[in-house]
């Protein structure tokens, strides 16, 4: 969720600085239908988590991983767009650690308590409405890729992974370069504007 908030904040900053969004119209997305599939799968994950996760955490985890794989395919198809390489790297790192730890992003009990001091979580539980699974560091495969970076904000605390940092950098690169005026224009049109 913090990634969505940060992306929105970056967009607002770009608007406040009166960046030129006209070049965004020149973006040629490939496989844009995949985004619909991603949102559908993410919705299904939330629904399954509410309906069956307390007793059976596997179906929502499988759908969560499926949504991430579809999103990764979309990003790979659009590597020609600035920021997509960083987004792909970030998502790939998150997908790797989630896949190796039961389909959920691992978080240690201490980090979970830091983020949600009001919520009690037991080991191997998937807190409702979360993409996390509570695991001890020793039980986590590739622990260093899990949600280990603590981010205290005035209104709430968050935990981020290294993959999340790359996702944020990818969003920033996209917004900076997409609003630079001419980046997405075909090379012929860019050259004509520069002459």
For 44-54, what is each residue's pLDDT tens digit?
776 776 666 55
C-alpha to C-alpha distance for 124 and 156, rounded to whole angstroms: 24
H helices of 17-146, in order, are 33-51, 58-77, 84-99, 109-115
Residues 104/61, Cβ–Cβ less than 8 Å: yes
Burial class (CB in 10 A: 0-12, 13-18, 19+), 194: exposed
**Tens of pLDDT, residues 154-174:** 888 999 999 999 999 999 998
pLDDT band at 10 (very low <50, low <70, confident <90, very high): confident
Question: Is residue 187 scored above 70 in pLDDT?
Answer: no
Cβ neighbors of 12 (< 8 A, separation 6 or more) are: none
């Amino acid at each position: 969720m913090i990634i969505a908030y940060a992306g929105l904040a970056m967009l607002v900053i770009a608007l406040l600085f009166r960046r030129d969004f006209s070049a965004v119209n020149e973006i040629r997305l490939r496989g844009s239908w995949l985004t619909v599939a991603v949102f559908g799968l993410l919705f299904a994950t939330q629904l399954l988590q509410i309906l069956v996760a307390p007793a059976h955490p596997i179906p929502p985890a499988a759908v969560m991983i499926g949504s991430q794989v579809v999103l990764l395919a979309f990003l790979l198809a659009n590597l020609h767009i600035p920021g997509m390489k960083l987004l792909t790297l970030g998502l790939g790192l998150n997908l790797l650690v989630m896949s190796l730890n039961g389909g959920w992003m691992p978080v240690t009990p201490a980090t979970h308590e830091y983020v949600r001091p009001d919520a009690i979580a037991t080991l191997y539980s998937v807190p409702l409405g979360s993409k996390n699974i509570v695991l001890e560091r020793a039980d986590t495969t590739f622990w260093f890729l899990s949600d280990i970076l603590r981010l205290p904000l005035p209104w709430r605390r968050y935990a981020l992974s290294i993959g999340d940092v790359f996702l944020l950098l990818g969003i920033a690169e996209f917004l900076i370069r997409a609003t630079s005026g001419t980046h997405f224009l075909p090379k012929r049109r860019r050259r004509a504007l520069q002459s």
